[in-house]
Amino acid sequence: SAGVACFLGFVKGMIGEGKRVKDLELEAYKERAEEIFSQIAQDIRSRPGIVECLIHHVTGKLKLGDLIFVVMVAGRSRKDVFPALVEAVERAKREATIWKKETLESGESYWVEYGKE
């Protein structure tokens, strides 16, 4: 048997203590981010039982509910695929050269290092 697991990340409506997000702007050192995602995917593909890993991240101005982040892992079984998916997502969020500007409904906005929120 085989399995595919996918993580889809969307712009969240709430952060912190009930603060409502109006929109999000994502910027990246794109070439470096692509290198990092490629290395993570290669590392995941080298795990026993894994045959494919794909990572894609959107940049630019986004609204509530927009798709930001996609990670897909395919392998021989769910026992191989699910832990690999978690590792790929966590590493991509931790290692990516991406920054986000959150604008709240109150008008307040600030930059946050991606994965550090």
State what percent of residues in the chain have pLDDT above 70: 95
State the sign of the Cα–Cα–Cα–Cα dihedral 65, 94, 32, 80. negative
Distance CA 80, CA 49 (A): 6
Number of domains in the chain: 1
Q: Which structural domain, as residue segments, surrounds residue 95?
A: 3-113
Q: What 8-state DSSP symbol labels residue 13?
A: S
User: What is the token pair recorded at 82?
Assistant: 């699910």
Distance CA 99, CA 102 (A): 10
Mean pLDDT of 72-88: 97
Whether the CB-CB separation of 77 and 5 falls below 8 Å is answered with: no
Q: Is the pLDDT of residue 110 over 90?
A: no
* pLDDT tens-digit readout, 87-102: 999 999 999 889 889 8
CATH for 80: 3.90.1170.40
